[in-house]
Structure 1
């Protein structure tokens, strides 16, 4: 192979790699179940008029609860879901990139593999005091819903969900 053919082969290879790096699949927003683990931190965008699901900005999961150390200092924690009563067990924290809850709020179409149909308690923050839990992914009310309200509080806790224990697949958070 002469030098011009070698250069052509190298350029073709580099163009192929650049195409893979710049493709839509590499730059697409992470999907709700793109990462799994016993402890997850997910950041969402607030719902805009006409939207039904919040865009997932980032998702980080692991089997070490130390993931909370970096997340605990962040602002706009919206909700933390726990697998056990009294805020124990595995958990998932959802953060709001666009600030605290308002009337439009945040729509979580899937709580993630570890939390799906496993949520037993939850704490809301950032004025997310109107919560609707859905039994099916996609916030489909066909599988049943469970509404929680806490009037006028920035932080609200439900240490047990007796009417909806281990039944949550998606949820909607807003300010009442």
Structure 2
């Protein structure tokens, strides 16, 4: 799956934008609106982490092994035990690395050619579907980041190869991302 996607991309500016071959079934206009960040006691929850299982051949989505949210990054590491896992990707709701933050960790180390993927952000990563504006990479072996407009890797597509930080995903993808894959490609 990954080799065909990245090799078909034509680089335009900082991202490769492709029009989807098949239209995704979850149109952005038909999705329910996401509410504000949840709160726990006095502080708003703005950081969430997900520890993922590697994709295995033929799988479309990584299993979430652990997850949790907290009001600070330090508190978050204690909640999910993420410090012992490999940081893969951080996605942000606002441009320039701000707003609601989701951390992806790999339980079994950095990316291989299959990598890690979430085929439907709406059902897997609470409050980030159609809200991603920037991202930063974690481990350098996860050198390819792919984002799609719709769930199940459908619709418009943006790909970044060998980028470690993207302060703005661009107007074509801003607040539209519904599925993501990170992997290694030589």
How far the C-alpha of 1:72 sits from its partner, in A, is 6.8
Q: Normalized against structure 2, the TM-score is what?
A: 0.65
Other-structure match for 1:129 = 143
Other-structure match for 1:33 = none
Comparing both structures, which one devotes a greater share of its residues to helix?
Answer: 1
Distance 1:72 1:43 in 2: 7
Distance 1:107 1:72 in 2: 18
Other-structure match for 1:150 = 162
Distance 1:74 1:160 in 2: 29
Give the conservation status (yes or no) of the 8 Å contact 2:51–2:82. Answer: no
Greater RCO, CA 8 A, separation 6+: 2
Matched, 1:170 2:179: yes
Gaps of 5+ in 1: 1-35
Counterpart selection for 1:59 from 58, 64, 67: 67
CA RMSD, 1 decimal: 1.9
Counterpart selection for 2:116 from 93, 106, 111: 106
Other-structure match for 2:128 = 115
How far the C-alpha of 1:136 sits from its partner, in A, is 1.5
- Deviating 4+ runs (over 4 angstroms): none
Matched, 1:40 2:54: no
Give the conservation status (yes or no) of the 8 Å contact 2:94–2:134. Answer: yes
Give the conservation status (yes or no) of the 8 Å contact 1:83–1:120. Answer: yes
SS at structure 1 position matched to 2:135: strand
Q: Normalized against structure 1, the TM-score is what?
A: 0.69
Other-structure match for 2:169 = 161
Aligned length: 134
- The C-alpha deviation readout for 1:69-110, integer Å capped at 9, x for no partner, is 536744411000001111111100010011101111011123
Gaps of 5+ in 2: 1-37, 39-44
